[in-house]
Structure formats: C-alpha cells, structure tokens
Amino acid sequence: MKIFVGIDDTDSLEIGATGQTANELRRIIMGRGWGQPEPVTRHQLLLHPDIPYTSHNSSMCFAVEASSQYLQEMIRCAQEFLESSSAPGADPGLCVAVDERIRNVEHLISFGCRAKREILQKEEAYQTARHCGLHLSEHGGTGLGVIGALAGLALRLTGNDGRFQGKIKLQQPGTAMSAAEILASSDIEEIQSIEGQPLLPSETVIIGEKIKTVLLDSKRKLLVYRKNDEWHTITNQHIELY
C-alpha cells in the first residue's frame, strides 16, 4: 500500500530545514527496509503576517510503497524523529495517510488548496484529519505545524502542486541533450514548456546550472523555456511559481 508522509515546521530561523528533515526521514525508512520512498515535494502555503511561519511557509511530503505491517512502527519512528531532530522553538507537525484508506478525498484536497489562500486553524486540521481517516500529530512548541503537514499531504495528492526537492544530475551546464536522452538518464517522467507544450523525444534542451522538477499531472516533470530559439531548463527564477 502507498503511505504518504507530510511534515512541517521543523526548523527555526537559524537551525534546520524541513526539506532536509523530510529527506533524513526517507533515509531512515529506507534503512529499516520498510520501503523505497519517492522523492520529497515542497508545497508553498499562504504567506501572511498572521501566520507564524519561520521563513517560507512551505511544507514537505513524500510517499512510500510499504507493507501495512510497518505502518504503526513508521508513525512512531517519524514522531520520535521529529521530536529529537526539530530545532528549538519549532512547532512540528506530522501527517500520515494510507492511500486506500483515505475518505472524503475532495474535502482533504479542499483543505490543502485553502491553505494556499486562507489562514486555517489547528482545530480544523484535526477535524479534517479525523473526517478523512488520516493520522495527524504535533511534536513540540505550539504544534501549529499540523496545519502545513496536512495541507502539504493534501496538495501532493492532487498531483498538481509543488516542486521536487533534491538535485538531478544530467550533463554539464551548457550541454545540449535530446529530450529522449534526459528521460532515459534520470527520474524525470516528462518534459514540457512552462506554457504546457510537451517536447518531442528528438527536441534538444540546453542544460542549466540546476535541474528543477515539478509535480504536474502526478508526474515528475522537467520544465523548459524558450530563449534564442532553443529550449533551456528553467532556473530558480521560474520555479518561484511552483
């Protein structure tokens, strides 16, 4: 079965990063032999002065195909990890969901989408988690990270939100690669322009400094843009929108 793990608010101004925490948790799950986690996605939530986020108000989510016998142990492990590794002053939250046991998916996804444009309360996060059959728990501080943990997981479920954490290595920056070569040599599933036009396998892409991928149509996609009549991989400046 597919297990989704969402975490949020594990860092402070000077210590930690929730993306790193999520990746460390992935490594622990892998190390225990519970499954091979998918890459982490980062989901941007509302930026508003009344929300006490550290610096980005983004939350992290990953999925892992694992046997049901490991579920409770995995939750306990994640809880202990968040409590031991989160920065002082952080307000960490953990959300865990089993794909086939999620109820009222539309309600859950609505919560995630609203977290991108509204200020939500912790009580509603817990109500939503109960209503939809998800585990939700807080592990220090005010525990307000439960809102982002639930929202991040919900947004991942949409298959159309967020960007992947971590680096993808292709050839040296400035090198030209065909779309087919890129797909064959990486975890990228599709390549399309920022306007949504899919690239043909034979089309050429100029590789940039950093390869950024996004979650679109439930796939890991590489986005490209047109410059000087050539396709180029998107830069940090383009990724702001995802």
Partner 1 sequence: MQAKDMFVFREGGWEYTGGKRDWQTAAGIAAICQGFMDDDEGELAADEAVSCYNCRYRRWTADSFLCMWPVKAKFNSSKNKCLE
Q: Which is nearer to partner 1, 107 or 238 (CB)?
A: 238
Tell me how many residues contact partner 1 (CB under 8 A). 24
Q: How far apart are CA 19 and CA 104, in angstroms?
A: 28
Q: How far apart are CA 160 and CA 153, in angstroms?
A: 12
Q: How far apart are CA 157 and CA 80, in angstroms?
A: 25
Contact between 240 and partner 1 by CB under 8 A: the answer reads yes
Contact between 165 and partner 1 by CB under 8 A: the answer reads yes
Contact between 174 and partner 1 by CB under 8 A: the answer reads no
Spatial CA neighbour of 82 closest among 165, 8, 27 = 8
> Of residues 10, 58, 137, 192, which one binds partner 1 by CB under 8 A?
58
Angle between helices 122-132 and 145-158 (to 10 degrees): 40
> Of residues 10, 57, 128, 213, which one binds partner 1 by CB under 8 A?
57
Interactions with partner 1, residue window 30-49 (CB under 8 A): 42, 47-49
Name the one range near partner 1 by CB under 8 A: 95-103, 146-154, 161-169, 183-191: 161-169
3-state secondary structure of 33: coil
CB-based contacts of 105: which residues, under 8 Å, 6+ apart? 132, 157
Where do contacts with partner 1 occur on this chain (CB under 8 A)? 13-14, 17, 19-20, 42, 47-49, 53-58, 165-167, 209, 235-237, 239-240
